[in-house]
Amino acid sequence: MAARRADKCAEAADEIGGDTLPVALDVTDPAGIEAALTAAEQVFGPVTVLINNAGTVTNNALVDTPPEDWREVIDTNLTGCFLMTQAVSKRLIAAETGGRIVNISSMLGVTPSGQVNAYAASKAGINQLTRTSALELARHGISVNAIAPGYIETDLNRDFLAGPAGERIVKRVAQRRFGQVKDLEGVLLLLTAPAGSYMTGEIVTIDGGLSLSGM
Which residues are catalytic, by number?
119
d(CA 117, CA 62): 6
Q: Taken in order 126, 124, 154, 171, is the CA torsion positive or negative?
A: negative
Whole-angstrom distance, CA of residue 109 vs CA of residue 135: 20
Torsion sign (Cα): 123, 75, 5, 18: positive
Q: What angle do CA 2, 152, 62 make, to 5 degrees?
A: 85
Closest CA to 104 of 84, 120, 85, 127: 127
Judge contact between 168 and 210, C-beta under 8 A: no
CA distance 59 to 210: 20
Cα angle 131, 4, 108 (rounded to 5 degrees) comes to 40
Q: Rounded CA gap, 209 and 96, in Å?
A: 39
The kind and range of the H/E element at 102 are strand 99-104
